[in-house]
Every structure is written in structure tokens, then in C-alpha cells.
Amino acid sequence: MGAAMSVLSHGVADAAMISKISKITKAKELGVPTFVRMSDPMQVTTLTRRFQSKLIGGVDFLPAADDFPVVVYVYSPHDETEEIREIECVKRTAATVSPALAHALRAFVRLGDQGIDGVARSRLLMTLRRATTAATIYPSITSDGFGAAIAEWRAGNRMIAIEFTPDGEYSWIATNDEGSLERNEVGIGEPDPAELAESLEQFSDHVAVLNSSWRQLFD
Amino acid sequence: MKAEWTYDDPSIPDDALLYRRVTKQPDNLVRDVSDGRRKVGIALFSYRADGLSIYASCLMDREGISDVELIDWTQEKLACVSTDVVRRSEPGDPYVGTRPPTGTVPAGEAHETGGGVVACVSSHPGDPRVQRSHGLVRIHLKPDSIDAKRHWNAFRVKLVMAALLKDSSSAGWTQSIA
């Protein structure tokens, strides 16, 4: 049995899910997980920073909509030799996650181990959690092959791109319908969630008129 | 003594095409929700320690190879931009002094970010002719310079908007693919 590892959870992790994750970690020889309940997303962020030197992957365990995969990032803050493991499991509960965020989670699972920096990925997921709603268009999720985590939206020449790089910086780039740059923000941390939410709302309203069947474009 | 940062070789003509590999994983393409087709995204144009890796058609002509021989088409696709787009530096809307900065050019500038191309033999394993066709796209700021990222962001949007894609050796070049 491997060293005890911690699974950080945001929101409610019910007994059935705890049992399921425990069985998975045992089957994968990751040891018996310790569950830490947190109700405040900022607690997740705080813990991430505290263990940053040892953090390899993300810290999100999210309550799921029916039938969409929940990605659990498991890491060991106490043993630097332990590798990060991602565990995917399906849970049927009421949805508290936006479809755009759920889509992003699934996309990261499909991308698998492409060298995406775990902290960059976590920051992107947290940003999407704060800035997306039920109406937000799904982003395309990718990496540059050098650790960056990127969410990008495109409708004709109109674009929004959010990029988190391993150096701790983010970029928020946006263009208008002429393809001209309208926003070019670079900073440490993350974009202002209210401003990004407004930008995504405008984009989503625009797309809803342009192509009301856009959901069919995504898996 | 600090090494000079050379970011353009004028002997590379404006009409030279610059090719970028589009890997299968991660796929740097973006789904355009207006028509469902996939286009080049910013992920394809990342500014690395020595620049943005490309293959230049003028160098390939010298080596006697075409774009068909650049990659394994079962594993990758190709994107391209022309050198004149890289070098283009047209006037733009200046940044307004608010937070966050807005405008179509980098803060403190009046023009788009113009860049350049230099030849640089690749160490990527494979055909020596392909290695010798390799080059680097750069801007006037080195990647680790302060404010390089903001300038590069403006620059790579220019590339994204102009890039073309080819998804098989026999296909033509298009703005988007299925």
C-alpha cells in the first residue's frame, strides 16, 4: 500500500463518492486517501499555494452533473517522490458546475499527460469556475506543449483567450469582429472574474444569435 | 559581453512561407462556434527561449524539399504564415491609460508589433534537409525581457488571424479545417 495521500475536495463529497474514490485509489495502489472538506474556493487556492513546491497536479474535486466525469487530482504534499495521479469517476448528483467548466474538465482528462503544468491547469479551472455560467459557450482547451493551460473561444474573427503559464503569469487576449486586438492583459494571478464573466457573457450572447446549435459542435 | 539579439534576416524574402507543425496531442486548434470548423489558436505560437520554431520555404527550396516532406502526415498537420505578415507593422489604435489596458497595439506603441525571421539549423532528429530548412520567428524583445509577453501576445494574434492550415499532404491551404 502506498503512502497516505490527501484528496482535497471543494463542496460536498458524499459517502458514496468517498467510498468509490477510496476503492479506486486502493486499486491503483495509491493508499487510503484522506478527505478534507472545504466549502470555500479560496481555501482551495490557499492550500494550493502552501503546497506549491510539491504540488504537481490540481486540487479540484467537483460535484458533478449527471453522467459527466469528475476529475479528482490526487497529490501527496508529504512525499516528493509520489507522482500525481488523476482519477476519473462518474457521479450522479445535482449540478453546481457550469457546462463550460464541465466541458473543460473533460477536455483536460482527454488531453491526459501532455506536460501541462498542474498549477496552471488549476488556475485555469478556478478562473472558469468563477467566470462561467450556464449560458457560457464551451471553450477549446489546449496547451502550447510547454506547460501552458489555455482556454480559447472563437466565433469568426472574434476571439477570447485565457492562458496560464508555468511562470505564474496569465494572459487575457481578445479581438473584435474585425480580428483587431481589443484586450491584451498580462499579469500575475488571474484575471478579474467579474470582468471576464462580462466579456464571456457578451461573447456567448453573440454566439447564441449566430449559431443556436453550437452545443452540437462539442463532444 | 552580451550576445546581440538578431531578430530578422533581410535575405529571407517577404513572400517566404513559414510552416509550423500542428501536433495531434495537444491539438492547438480552436473550434470556431460560428461554423464548427477548426482554426489556428494562440497555443500554436508560443515564444520560447530562442524564438518560435518554423520551417522557411526559401530554405526548403534550397534543400530541394517541399512541405509534403516536412512532417509525418499521419501524426501531424501544417500551418503557415507568410514572412510579410510577420514583419508587418501597421499603425493601430493606441492604448488608453485605463486598467486593464485596451488598444490594438502594445502599450506605449503606435504600431503593430513587427517581427522577423532568422535561419537556425534544427537539432530535431530527422532528415538533415529538414533540419537545415529550420528557422526562428522573433520580435525585437527577447522572450525573457520585461514586457515581452504583452508584445508577443499582440504579435501572435496577428499570426493567428493570418494563418492557413493543411491537414493532409494532398490538401490545399485553408483558413480552417473540419
Percentage of chain B lying above the pLDDT 90 cut: 67
- For residue B161 the three cell numbers come to 488571424
Q: Do B102 and A183 touch (CB under 8 A)?
A: yes
Q: Do B154 and A145 touch (CB under 8 A)?
A: no
Nearest to A72 by CA among A80, A54, A84: A84
Beta-carbon contacts of B1 under 8 Å, excluding residues fewer than 6 positions away, are none
B161 to chain A: which residues are within 8 Å by CB?
157, 175, 179
CB A20 within 8 A of CB A89: yes
pLDDT at A25: 55
A171 touches chain B (CB under 8 A): yes
Within 10 angstroms of residue A219's Cβ, the number of other Cβ atoms is: 7
B105-129 mean pLDDT: 84
pLDDT at B28: 79
A45 touches chain B (CB under 8 A): no
- For B46, the closest of A111, A146, A179 (CB atoms) is A146
pLDDT tens digit sequence for B35-83? 999 999 999 999 988 999 999 999 999 999 999 999 999 989 999 999 9
CB A67 within 8 A of CB A83: no
CB A175 within 8 A of CB B161: yes
Q: Do B27 and A142 touch (CB under 8 A)?
A: yes
A150 touches chain B (CB under 8 A): yes
B14-27 mean pLDDT: 88
ipTM value: 0.90
B97-120 mean pLDDT: 70
pTM over 0.90: no
pLDDT at A26: 60
Q: Do A144 and B101 touch (CB under 8 A)?
A: no
B28 touches chain A (CB under 8 A): yes
Local confidence pLDDT in tens for the 219 residues of chain A: 233 334 444 333 445 555 665 665 565 554 444 444 333 332 333 233 233 333 323 334 433 333 333 444 443 333 433 333 333 333 322 235 678 987 887 787 677 667 788 778 878 888 888 899 989 999 999 999 889 999 999 999 999 999 999 988 999 999 888 887 888 889 988 899 999 999 999 999 999 999 999 999 986
Burial B109-136 (b: 16+ CB within 10 A, else e): beebbbbbbbbbebeeeeeeebbbbbbb
- For B32, the closest of A154, A186, A192 (CB atoms) is A154
